[in-house]
Amino acid sequence: MASTSAEIIAFLLTISGWVLVSSTLPTDYWKVSTIDGTVITTATFWANLWKTCVTDSTGVSNCKDFPSMLALDGYIQACRGLMISAVCLGFFGAIFGLVGMKCTKVGGSDQTKAKIACLAGLIFILSGLCSMTGCSLYANRITSEFFDPTFVAQKYELGAALFIGWAGASLCIIGGSIFCFSIAENSNSPRRGYAYNGATSVMSSRTKVQNSVPDKTPPKHFDKNAYV
């Protein structure tokens, strides 16, 4: 029962983490920068993995898509590949996790389902590591440019999408670890032993029955002429 509850908790954690990781791809604010005036914010610059935009004080946004994938910076291409890999791995991990849970009716025996659940845990851990690496690589580029005194272009700060990606990656890693521990719990569970007494023959069983039935025949009485 405890193992089943742990698997349900792990499945909820991993699915929540996978949804958060998936939501970072269309999120706009991977990095953000503002230009403040004397009274109001005059412009807000923000960018993600697909485009860069600027929003003025009236709320009008002007966006520009990245022109060519081959002309992009290497870190953006790497982040795209890592995040897309994390989403794909999380999808397959969810399928294997659903099959490997004890509360489902598919997957075979308990030992087979435990192996499938462990495989799902490893996939979710790999998905979380991909997401964590992608977000950290993007954040490292932002912070290195921000603290570089020789960098004269527009400087950005960390956006909300990075924190969402880190949170989703953490949930995937935690839930995947719980899935991996489920196979250890199943291997350590005690098994019931049955003693084999051997097959009893028909004659021995009949003999036991006859011996168990009491003899109800009345005793015979002999007079003295019977011995002559």
In what helix (H) or strand (E) does residue 115 lie, and over which residues does it extend?
Answer: helix 110-146
3-state DSSP call for residue 199?
coil
pTM (predicted TM-score): 0.75
pLDDT score recorded for residue 155: 86
Helices (H), 1-108: 2-24, 74-100
DSSP annotation of 224: G
pLDDT tens digit string along 124-151?
999 999 999 999 999 999 999 889 888 8
3-state DSSP call for residue 108?
coil
pLDDT tens digit string along 62-113?
888 887 777 788 889 999 999 999 999 999 999 999 888 888 887 778 788 8
CATH number for the 4-27+73-188 domain, one of 1.20.58.220, 3.10.450.50, 1.20.140.150, 3.30.470.20?
Answer: 1.20.140.150
Numbers of helices and strands, H then E, in the chain: 5, 5
Q: How many CB atoms lie within 10 A of CB 18?
A: 26
Q: Cα(106)–Cα(103) distance, rounded to whole angstroms? A: 9
**Sequence-distant (≥ 6) Cβ neighbours of residue 217 within 8 angstroms:** none
Residue ranges covered by each domain of the chain:
4-27+73-188
pLDDT tens digit string along 193-228?
444 455 444 445 445 545 555 555 555 554 555 444
Helix axes 2-24, 110-146, angle to 10 degrees: 30
